[in-house]
Chains A and B, each alone.
Chain A
Amino acid sequence: MRFCMGRGCMTGYVEMANTALPHQSSEAHEQEQAPPLRVDREGFALLRDRLRAANAANPQFDLQYKRLVALLKTAFRRLESEFGDLIELVVADGDWARYGIDLRNLPFDEVVLLIVVRGSERPFSLYWEIADRVFTKLDDKDVLLQFGLATKEEWDAGSAYARQCGVSEALGIPLLARAG
């Protein structure tokens, strides 16, 4: 849900901006101790159910879903091998995860992954590097896999707010997460 920005929203912004960033040494310690990234089986099951419901009239669903999952897993393997230390969580983000999409509409419907990164910044250079090493050579004309980044602080603040407002489903579906 989006609204044009109004002045009344500024209080929320100040509160969010005041959220303290983690101290560098504690962040480094956290990265050392991080459990490994694992495919979230429950997340994939939920995604499959949502997509299946949106594809009730699509006889090609099983084949298309299998292909989509193979593409996602290729992207995840690359993310893990190239950026594993930086990543906290990968979430299926947007309408395809929240409501499901008819897979026959690909590549025109959005298939977006939100990558939550462990640092306190998400510089343009990181977007470019992730695009370069993970998303540009997937070689699938039928699916354009896109991504966005959020820092862990942004994710935590946004998640807490969504839960408080009772709209947790808007957070998307976790597909790759740290086990433990």
Chain B
Amino acid sequence: MPSLPARAERKWYYLGLRHLRMSQRLLRSGFADGAVFHAYHGFECLLSAVIAARGYPVPPEGWTTLLLPSGASVQAYPAPEGMIRDFNAHKARLALFDQLADPTNAYYDAYDHLRTFLTYRDRLDSLYYEANQNQLPEDRYSLAFGEALLPALTRFAREVRTEVP
């Protein structure tokens, strides 16, 4: 008998945990840059788990076409406080999470800090060579940074768990 499809929030939550485990393994092997790359994705997946738990599709899923007063049509995501324009899926997730999250829950404080410095730029810098300034991913992230980031994200994951039945 085939198993029922996993609920979307669980899928995102466990994908987030999987990224954090990969991050941990890479850190143990000395690859701080790879660890930060997976930590970044773990953070995104945990945000997505909360979005899905509140019944919203996770960007880039769920966009619809919105007709502007100017007559132009754009892609946008439905959100509690109006449509979110589809300029950037990462930022759309942050904006949607921000509207759906419970600011009194413990996870909000961690989110509020992490979103200011765990940026899309980190996703790029942890993966690619920055040719303009001759900076390799391993120049950018130290093991000490990864060793401190991961517990913060693991704590965030524990706190987000309350949203994922």
* Interface set of A (CB-CB < 8 Å, partner B): 1-6, 9, 12-13, 16-17, 93-94, 105, 107-110, 112, 121-125, 127-128, 130-132, 135-136, 144-149, 154, 157-159, 161-162, 165, 167, 170-171
Most B C-beta atoms less than 10 A away, residue of A9, A13, A108, A123: A108
A131:B91 contact, CB within 8 angstroms:
no
CB contact between B117 and one of A13, A17, A130 (< 8 Å): that residue: A130
A148:B117 contact, CB within 8 angstroms:
yes
Q: Which residues of A contact B92 (CB under 8 A)?
A: 108
Tell me how many residue pairs across A and B have CB atoms closer than 8 Å. 116
CA distance A95 to B97 in the complex (A): 24
Q: Which residues of B contact A171 (CB under 8 A)?
A: 132-133
Contact residues of B: prevailing secondary structure: helix
A16:B129 contact, CB within 8 angstroms:
no
A12 nearest in chain B by CB position: B134
CA distance A6 to B128 in the complex (A): 10
CA distance A13 to B115 in the complex (A): 29
A148:B121 contact, CB within 8 angstroms:
yes
A158:B135 contact, CB within 8 angstroms:
yes
Q: Which residues of A contact B139 (CB under 8 A)?
A: 13, 16-17, 154
A170 nearest in chain B by CB position: B132
A3:B121 contact, CB within 8 angstroms:
no
Interface locus among B7-15, B19-27, B46-54, B141-149:
B141-149
A105:B116 contact, CB within 8 angstroms:
no
A109:B87 contact, CB within 8 angstroms:
yes
CB contact between B119 and one of A124, A148, A159, A170 (< 8 Å): that residue: A148
Q: Which residues of A contact B94 (CB under 8 A)?
A: 144
A112:B134 contact, CB within 8 angstroms:
no
A146:B149 contact, CB within 8 angstroms:
no
A2:B116 contact, CB within 8 angstroms:
no
Q: Which residues of B contact A122 (CB under 8 A)?
A: 145
- Rounded to whole Å, the gap between the CB of A121 and the closest CB of chain B is 8
Q: Which residues of A contact B120 (CB under 8 A)?
A: 110
B95:A107 contact, CB within 8 angstroms:
yes
- Rounded to whole Å, the gap between the CB of A169 and the closest CB of chain B is 9
B87 nearest in chain A by CB position: A108
Given the known inter-chain contacts A107-B91, A108-B85, A110-B119, please indicate yes or no for A4 contacting B128, CB distance below 8 A. yes
CB contact between A2 and one of B84, B114, B124, B152 (< 8 Å): that residue: B124
